Amino acid sequence: MDFEVWPESIELGQLFADQGYELALVGGAVRDMLLHRRSHDLDFCTSARPEQFEPILRKWGSGFWDMGRKFGTLGALKRRKDGTEIRVEVTTYRSDTYNPDSRKPEVDYGDSLSGDLSRRDFTVNAMALRVPDLVFVDPYGGANDLARQILRTPVDPRQSFDDDPLRMMRAVRFVAQLDFRIAADTAEAISEMTERINIVSAERVRDELVKLLLSPHPRAGVEALVESGLADQVLPEVPALQLEIDEHHRHKDVFEHTMIVLDRAVALETGPDGPVPAPDLTLRLAALLHDIGKPQTRRFEPGGKVSFHHHDAVGARLARKRLKALHFDHHLIDDVCNLIAMHLRFHGYVDERWTDAAVRRYAKETGPLYERLNRLTRADATTRNRRKEQVFSAAMDELEDRVRQLRKQEDLDAIRPDLDGRQIMEILDLDPGPLVGKAYRHMLDYRLDHGPADQEEAVEELKRWWADRG
């Protein structure tokens, strides 16, 4: 079998063998070797107990940690001469037992490599390479499944998912990461057991969703999530997009549209030095959720038309509730929801070109989300009408060019009123309070609408506004 092994793996294996212990490389590292990928994080399992192999790891590595000691896991880090860091974790053979109400196993030490491999999630992760003698161990046909790009459990899938329901989420995540398909019996078991996912913490579900979305094939992962029924439990707003289409097809399949938008948004991400480096979780989440307000806002209008008025605002509210329930970071939630709320903002420009003041306001108010919002807007333009597509694209190109020209003239991100709060209080003889804030916002609007003003003009405008208020 053709694969390349880190020399450090063989070195570590020899240290274990010298003490009479077995050591085997396991899990994703073996899978990646067969796929000719190099991994810097290596997982091993061993016949030795933690207290027996701790001295070996301390001697071998330049760093050591033991946060997983209660699970039989210790870790070490080794730096190569070229600066490359290799992180290893070694775990004693295990034979876990599970409480039906929890996915956390009661850790029992096992006595064989094959027994340890049987508790792995999928056959492609249940392969091992004994070191230092480089004997390949594959009791469940993982290499064959890897070649066929199939996800299958080493034991009965119902037992596997009953033991650890998070494995169902990992199955759809591997669809996105590896472009694999789920074996029929495994997929059937997932569909039958989706409610078991509810015993898993929101944080663990969130982490799997993040890995899925940041994978090379996020659309395939989302489609598998929905098809399996898992999305009904963890992200129900997405399968709800599968709206029944009226017989005259007066609106698009919203779920299919969303999948296209997700694909297009991914394609619009940039290289590492660009404004939206790939993979970008904020953009991908916004693309996935941008239309989730449509099911609640769909209306059949006179004449057979279908409308989704205010689905942007409703969608932002629904997204905030769901992302909070999944314990996403507050800043990321704000960014995703703001993108959803603003994703229709540009459409008015196509019908009537904005003034410089409106362009300036768009760039200022979108702020750090400007580049992502433009990409989401472009991705969302999925019309099949070639002429409409060209008009829309040309309008977006024009807007972006105008923003670039305005940025050359002034720092749009740093725009402030021509009078600050202290000056406003002095001119209007005000104490600090809400009126100062209102005056400040008016002067900011004036600055955005008219561009920079000199001191005399700004004072005159502030006094005019104050007089109009009576």
**Residue 126 shares a structural domain with residue 158:** no
**Residue 69 shares a structural domain with residue 195:** no
**Residue 157 shares a structural domain with residue 144:** no
Q: What is the per-residue pLDDT for 130?
A: 97
- pTM for this model (two decimals): 0.83
Question: Is residue 34 predicted with pLDDT exceeding 70?
Answer: yes
The CATH number given to whatever domain includes residue 227 is 1.10.110.30
**Residue 200 shares a structural domain with residue 137:** no
Residue ending a domain, choose from 148, 183, 213: 148
Residue ending a domain, choose from 235, 261, 292: 235
Q: What is the per-residue pLDDT for 99?
A: 60
Q: Could you tell me which residue, 462 or 104, shows the higher pLDDT? A: 462
Which stretch of 139-148, 244-253, 292-301, 366-375 has the lowest confidence by average pLDDT? 244-253
Average pLDDT rounded to a whole number, residues 92-98: 75
Residue ending a domain, choose from 110, 132, 148: 148
Which stretch of 1-10, 95-104, 124-133, 383-392 has the lowest confidence by average pLDDT? 95-104
Bridge partners, 87 (sequence order): 41, 77
**Residue 304 shares a structural domain with residue 251:** yes
Give Cα separations from 175 to 37, 157, 218, 225 (angstroms).
Answer: 17, 17, 8, 9
Question: Is residue 248 predicted with pLDDT exceeding 70?
Answer: no
Of 41, 29, 25, 36, the C-alpha closest to 1 is 36
Tokens 């000691």 locate to 69
**Residue 365 shares a structural domain with residue 218:** no
**Residue 219 shares a structural domain with residue 324:** no
**Residue 274 shares a structural domain with residue 401:** yes
Q: Which domain holds residue 168?
A: 151-235
**Residue 263 shares a structural domain with residue 229:** no
What mean pLDDT is reported for the chain?
90
Q: What is the per-residue pLDDT for 414?
A: 63
How far apart CA 370 and CA 354 sit, in angstroms, is 16
Question: Is residue 238 predicted with pLDDT exceeding 90?
Answer: yes
Residue 3: band (very low, low, confident or very high) from pLDDT cuts 50, 70, 90: low
Tens-digit pLDDT profile for residues 298-324: 988 887 788 899 999 999 999 999 999
**Residue 138 shares a structural domain with residue 160:** no
Question: Is residue 402 predicted with pLDDT exceeding 70?
Answer: yes
**Residue 261 shares a structural domain with residue 408:** yes
Question: Is residue 246 predicted with pLDDT exceeding 70?
Answer: no
Q: What is the per-residue pLDDT for 141?
A: 96
Q: Could you tell me which residue, 283 or 387, shows the higher pLDDT? A: 283
Residue 102: band (very low, low, confident or very high) from pLDDT cuts 50, 70, 90: low
Q: What is the per-residue pLDDT for 413?
A: 60
Of 95, 94, 110, 88, the C-alpha closest to 43 is 88
**Residue 267 shares a structural domain with residue 296:** yes
Which stretch of 95-109, 245-259, 280-294 has the lowest confidence by average pLDDT? 95-109
Q: How many structural domains does the chain have?
A: 4
Q: What is the per-residue pLDDT for 358?
A: 86
Tens-digit pLDDT profile for residues 113-158: 999 999 899 999 999 999 999 999 999 999 999 999 999 999 999 9
Q: Could you tell me which residue, 351 or 413, shows the higher pLDDT? A: 351
Question: Which residue type sits at 64?
Answer: F
Q: What is the per-residue pLDDT for 1?
A: 55
Q: What is the per-residue pLDDT for 435?
A: 87
